[in-house]
A and B are shown apart, each in its own frame.
Chain A
Amino acid sequence: MGEGGGRKLPAMIILDAILQGILMGLLFALVALGLTIIFGVMDIVNFAHGEFLMIGMYAAYWTSLLLHVDPLVTLPASAVVGMLLGLASYYWLVKYLIRGPMIAQLFGTFGLMLFLRYLAQFLFGTDYRIIQKGLLVGKSLSLGPFILDWTKLSTAVLSLLAFLLVYYLLHRTKLGKALRATALNKEAAAYMGIRTDRMNAFAWMIGGGTVGIAGGLLVNFWYVYPTVGLLFLMIAFASVAMGGFGSIKGAFFAGIIIGMIEMLFPVFGHLIGWDFLGPQFKFTVVYFAYFIIVVLRPQGLFGWKR
């Protein structure tokens, strides 16, 4: 390994990893957003969250392929599919689960996860698919010494926009405030005339919609296949735990931190010369991080719920 000839300095490698981490992290944040909203309002962990993502990915993929449109334009389709999925899940399943003990809720959404996963396998087969044609697909932007994938860049920007949109929705609109009220104290909110049932459904709708959009963005540079959801579910759990269950701000920052951990970890291993800590453990570290955080500081960074 000689000097010069374009070999990156450690500082450059780290900076590059941080940049890539932020890009991915914004997407992770968007994925975590839906999960944290549902939890905040209903105290339910949606185990099928990863599958919602997967379906959003397929929705974008098929829409783009069958209607011959650019993948960016298919985002509304993913959002709509996500929202409908959230609503359907609520009205046909979750509504009944909340009457039962926690174990039932856990297994109920678990069952939903398996159902959606194998439904996808049944409908679409196990082949790996990814968006092939599009305005930005396969192109990169050179910013000095850094090469950034256009699809990842646009994903990061759009994720940020989606996040801001949801934030605005929740903090500036009447509906959003009603939702937050229910999350804080559902009985009190009910006395004020806010129908808990409606708010629950609304939470699932937003949860499904946001993660659907995330899927639509993701499929531009990540393969979709029926079991892709699990990895993102775990990342979402780690983000939500770190940020604090129920906290939107938390999901945002935690998502970005996790993105950076994922990218920095292999670099770290390489730089300290201990190659055993390589890219094969980049997600293992995330799972480990969840465990540590949740044991040491259950409320996460910004958590206000339990």
Chain B
Amino acid sequence: MVSSTIFAAEKEIKIGVIYPLSGALATIGRDLQRAAELTADELVNNKNPNVDTLMAKWGGIPSLGGAKIKLIFADSRGEPDRGADLAKRLILDDKVVGLMGAYQSAVTKTVSAVAERYGIPMINDSSTSPDLTRRGFKWFWRTTPHDEYFDKDLFELLKGLTEGKVKGVKTVPKDQLKNLTYACENTEWGSSVAKDLERFAKEYGFNIVKGLLYSANAPDLTSEAQAVVAAKPDSMLFASYLSDSILMIRTLKGMKASPHLFWGQDAGFEMADFPRMLGADTNGVLTRTVFIAKLAKVKKVAGQINELYKKKYGDDLTGATARSVVGVQTWAYVLNRAASTDPKALQKACNEIDIPGYELVMPWDGIKFDATGQNIKGRGLIGQYQWKEGKAELEIIYPFDLASANMIYPFPGWK
């Protein structure tokens, strides 16, 4: 059998990362690339005195003789078949030891299928479609919680409102929140969110009065917005990417919509551009997210790593970029635990790994994969944009014990 010393002789460990670096989601893709690169450079490969994690003291992978991680990026352009080709190239030609990516669930599907065929481990940092861990794959692990967790969080929040558990809000009678509408973009992602919303609504005793799927590239959402408003919901729920979320809000603003609660499922609602473009119009909007800069208040490491990113690129980490960070962090830990780059050893390491929460930038309990490859120690957050002193700040509203400010309820609407 090959011993770890032979593999340790490689001073560079190559990991293939597939993101949409051009095409419609290029902005997100490039942000993810930057976050991943930063993590590899400043957190794994070099010692960092400013961050209080064990990893920051490594300067390379300890059990592999200080070998450095080298990320090889490939542009999927958001196309699943291109993603598959790139995966093959990374595995067969570039000889990467593992893969990471690919943001869009559709691309992740084909990329992971290639990894599964070739027996190369893939860690999925950023795709939230629940289907991905339901395929019985043996070479696929996902660090991020998937959409079901997030959608459930929303209903926990709604329930919490009716039970008086939300910071700064008196108990809300259930019929003030009962009727829900949703409008989700119609690809893979949005349509599974829609399915979850229907399911949880039934479970928690809420009423979906209108639900629709729309084309994410539809530049005009008037009819959709009208349909939503016409149903007179108490709460409006959305799953949108950036441009459609902005358009939706603008359109609804034009109609003077006034639900009691307005929630967006991450993606568009979470990006730095969202509050930048809409300014005060975001006041009161809730968004599911995984990471908010405000976490620094409750978790020091989060703040420290955020500072690294902010110093280099000027923006705070968002839920998407923070997950890239975690992806690379996880790879580093897996490599370290395996003490080898042999695929079987890596597979074993992934199945057994248990990274403690305090090592991660995320406010999670840690990283531990269940039998389907899903990380069961992750959690989502629900944040709310609050307009203070000319700036839109994202405050944590859920989980209740991490709340960083009082929730604005009901949704103030637009005058």
Binding site for B on A (CB under 8 A): 1-2, 5-8, 13, 16-17, 20, 24, 125-128, 130, 132, 138, 140, 147, 149, 222-223, 225, 228, 231, 263, 266-267, 270, 275, 278-280, 282
B212 contact set on A, CB distance < 8 A? 275, 278-280
B213 contact set on A, CB distance < 8 A? 280
Q: Does B232 contact A5, Cβ atoms closer than 8 Å?
A: yes
- Contact check: which of B22, B219, B230 meets A126 at CB < 8 Å? B22
**Which B residues from 167 to 218 make CB contacts under 8 A with A?**
186, 209, 212-215, 218
Q: Does A1 contact B209, Cβ atoms closer than 8 Å?
A: yes
Stretch at the interface among B36-44, B246-254, B290-298: B246-254
Stretch at the interface among B220-228, B321-329, B351-359, B400-408: B220-228
Cα distance A24–B214 when bound, in Å? 19
Min Cβ gap A207→B in Å is 23
Q: Does B224 contact A279, Cβ atoms closer than 8 Å?
A: yes
Supposing A223-B219, A280-B213 touch, asked if A13 and B230 sit within 8 A by C-beta, the answer is yes
A127 contact set on B, CB distance < 8 A? 26-27
Q: Beyond the given A130-B246, A266-B227, could you list 7 further A-B residue pairs with CB under 8 A, ordered by the A residue number?
A: A20-B222, A127-B26, A225-B24, A263-B223, A266-B224, A279-B223, A280-B214
Q: Does A278 contact B247, Cβ atoms closer than 8 Å?
A: no
**Nearest chain A residue, comparing its CB with the CB of B22:** A126
> What are 8 of the A-B contact pairs (CB < 8 Å)?
A1-B231, A2-B232, A6-B232, A126-B24, A128-B243, A140-B254, A270-B227, A278-B212
Q: Does A126 contact B227, Cβ atoms closer than 8 Å?
A: no
**Nearest chain A residue, comparing its CB with the CB of B229:** A8
Q: Does B230 contact A7, Cβ atoms closer than 8 Å?
A: yes
Residue B242 at the chain A interface, CB threshold 8 Å: yes
Residue B255 at the chain A interface, CB threshold 8 Å: yes
Q: Does B222 contact A263, Cβ atoms closer than 8 Å?
A: yes
Cα distance A280–B214 when bound, in Å? 5
Q: Does B277 contact A222, Cβ atoms closer than 8 Å?
A: no
Residue B391 at the chain A interface, CB threshold 8 Å: no
Binding site for A on B (CB under 8 A): 22-24, 26-27, 186, 209, 212-215, 218-224, 226-227, 230-232, 242-243, 246-247, 250, 253-256, 277
Min Cβ gap B241→A in Å is 10
Q: Does B223 contact A147, Cβ atoms closer than 8 Å?
A: no
Cα distance A2–B232 when bound, in Å? 9
Min Cβ gap B190→A in Å is 11
Summarize A's interface: helix, strand, loop or mixed. Answer: loop
Cα distance A280–B212 when bound, in Å? 9
Min Cβ gap A176→B in Å is 33
8 cross-chain pairs, A with B, having the tightest CB-CB distances, nearest first: A128-B243, A279-B223, A266-B223, A279-B224, A222-B219, A140-B254, A126-B26, A223-B219
B219 contact set on A, CB distance < 8 A? 222-223, 228, 231
Cα distance A126–B30 when bound, in Å? 12
Cα distance A280–B218 when bound, in Å? 9
Min Cβ gap A279→B in Å is 4
Cα distance A186–B243 when bound, in Å? 47
Q: Does B222 contact A147, Cβ atoms closer than 8 Å?
A: no
**Nearest chain B residue, comparing its CB with the CB of A230:** B217
A126 contact set on B, CB distance < 8 A? 22-24, 26-27
Cα distance A278–B82 when bound, in Å? 32
Q: Does A125 contact B223, Cβ atoms closer than 8 Å?
A: no
- Contact check: which of A125, A140, A149, A223 meets B247 at CB < 8 Å? A223
A266 contact set on B, CB distance < 8 A? 223-224, 226-227
A222 contact set on B, CB distance < 8 A? 219-220
B209 contact set on A, CB distance < 8 A? 1
B27 contact set on A, CB distance < 8 A? 126-127
Supposing A8-B230, A126-B26, A147-B256 touch, asked if A280 and B250 sit within 8 A by C-beta, the answer is no
**Nearest chain B residue, comparing its CB with the CB of A265:** B223
Cα distance A215–B26 when bound, in Å? 24
B221 contact set on A, CB distance < 8 A? 279
- Contact check: which of A5, A125, A147 meets B255 at CB < 8 Å? A147
**Nearest chain B residue, comparing its CB with the CB of A231:** B219
Cα distance A133–B372 when bound, in Å? 49
A20 contact set on B, CB distance < 8 A? 222
Q: Does A7 contact B232, Cβ atoms closer than 8 Å?
A: yes
**Nearest chain B residue, comparing its CB with the CB of A224:** B219
Q: Does B26 contact A279, Cβ atoms closer than 8 Å?
A: no
Cα distance A17–B227 when bound, in Å? 11
Cα distance A147–B227 when bound, in Å? 15
Q: Does A1 contact B224, Cβ atoms closer than 8 Å?
A: no
A279 contact set on B, CB distance < 8 A? 212, 214, 218, 221, 223-224, 227
**Nearest chain A residue, comparing its CB with the CB of B77:** A126
Min Cβ gap A122→B in Å is 10
